[in-house]
Structure 1
Amino acid sequence: MDTSISRKDFLTKATFIGVCGMLTGILQTQKQPAAFDPNLLLNVDEGEIYLIGERKGRVTIKIGKQKNGIQTMSLLTEDIGPGDEIPVHKHSSEEEFIFIENGTGIFTFGDEEYKVTAGSMALVPRTVWHGLRNESEENLRMVFGYTPAGFENYFRAIGVKPGAPSQKLSSEDWKRINSKYGVVYRD
């Protein structure tokens, strides 16, 4: 009986097991609330929504340090429209976990590109280049988060609430905000 699995299947399973283990460890270190906190249960349309840049990428902060007091992780979603992308970048202080809920795209990890589909996940160590491009005709929804928590404030700094006027950031604004949150974009 052949019990071998492909490298891709192994990496997918290993990443999933690693993320689950990481999240279990994170949650075990949190101070447990005395009673259920309704802010920790959100439906699909709930959370803090920000529209990012001229592309109006929709980021929803589900769980974060500022609102929920969770210090060790955050959880967000982003809807990426057809032809849109998250430019290749890296974080100096956070690990990022990414799960593709629906859609297809091209994920950059380091210097390589990989096709991703619904159910794909990635664990991105700090200082590793990564980005995501939607090359399909449908929205791509990404569920993602950071450990430790705090980087979700970046989206508050660069985005606007739905209905608010667009924010025009100068190159100096971008440099200041990117420096504050330890993010570097690849040229």
Structure 2
Amino acid sequence: MIEHETPDPRPLLRRPEEGELIDVAGVEHFFRLTAEHTEGRFSFEEFTLEPGIVGARPHVHHGHDEYFYVLEGQLTLHNGDGEVTAGPGTLLAAVRGTPHGFRNAGTETTRALCLYTPAGYEGYFREVHAAVAAGAEVTDELLAEFRGRYRTTSS
């Protein structure tokens, strides 16, 4: 048996209401799985974006990959060459080193899924949320400071 395996592993079932809700700068991140659940392999979230909200300006991850899947509404995605509008069923793979960003330029609420591999970037959202709850203003400088801790730079 490999050291990190449990003697009798079981799948993890998460009910619709189970997860960690982190509201950051107008984006509701509902993490269904985090590093704590997956031994750091990946994290999985459903996020909600109201019309006119910028989820993330263009940036680049150097330590993890990020995959977006649109469930409802329209998500405007920066794909390194410009912006594209993505509707339900669209998938964007932002692997390490690729510039990307997203916003809701539409008129209806957008719901999408995001998968991070390996896990850990949920810590960025936790830190920003905690700073704002403590009275910090969300500025580009604040976000850059926190992103830097997670090997992420502006594009």
TM class by smaller structure:
0.7 to 0.9
Number of aligned pairs?
A: 149
Q: Distance in 2 between matches of 1:33 and 1:140?
A: 42
Structure showing the higher strand proportion among its residues? 2
Q: Paired residue for 1:68?
A: 37
Any residues of structure 2 matched to 1:83-102 within 5 Å, and which?
Answer: 83-86=52-55, 87-102=57-72
Answer whether contact 1:74 1:145 (CA < 8 A) is retained. Answer: yes
Instruction: Indicate how the Cα distance of structure 1 residues 184 and 167 shifts in structure 2: closer, same or farther if over 3 A, else same.
Output: farther
Q: Structure 1 residue 145 and structure 2 residue 115: aligned?
A: yes
Instruction: Indicate how the Cα distance of structure 1 residues 92 and 81 shifts in structure 2: closer, same or farther if over 3 A, else same.
Output: same
Any residues of structure 2 matched to 1:5-84 within 5 Å, and which?
Answer: 31=5, 34-36=8-10, 40-53=12-25, 56-65=26-35, 67-84=36-53
Give the aligned residue type for 1:113.
Answer: E
Q: Tell me the SS of whatever aligns to 2:14.
A: coil
Q: How high is the TM-score relative to the length of structure 1?
A: 0.70
Q: Tell me the SS of whatever aligns to 1:159.
A: helix
Q: Structure 1 residue 156 and structure 2 residue 134: aligned?
A: no
Shift in Å, 1:153: 1.0
Per-residue CA distance 1:9-53 (angstroms, 9 max, x = gap): xxxxxxxxxxxxxxxxxxxxx94772435xx32233321111103
Q: 1:113 aligns with which of 69, 75, 83?
A: 83
Structure showing the higher helix proportion among its residues? 1
Give the aligned residue type for 1:168.
Answer: A
Shift in Å, 1:177: 1.5
Q: Paired residue for 1:168?
A: 136
Q: Tell me the SS of whatever aligns to 1:51.
A: strand
Shift in Å, 1:71: 1.9
Q: Paired residue for 1:180?
A: 149
Give the aligned residue type for 1:156.
Answer: R
Structure 2, unmatched stretches of 5+, are: none
Answer whether contact 1:88 1:108 (CA < 8 A) is retained. Answer: yes
Q: Distance in 2 between matches of 1:153 and 1:33?
A: 29
Q: Distance in 2 between matches of 1:31 and 1:99?
A: 31
Percentage of pairs with the same residue: 23
Per-residue CA distance 1:137-179 (angstroms, 9 max, x = gap): 211112001111111111111115xxx9464157664343221
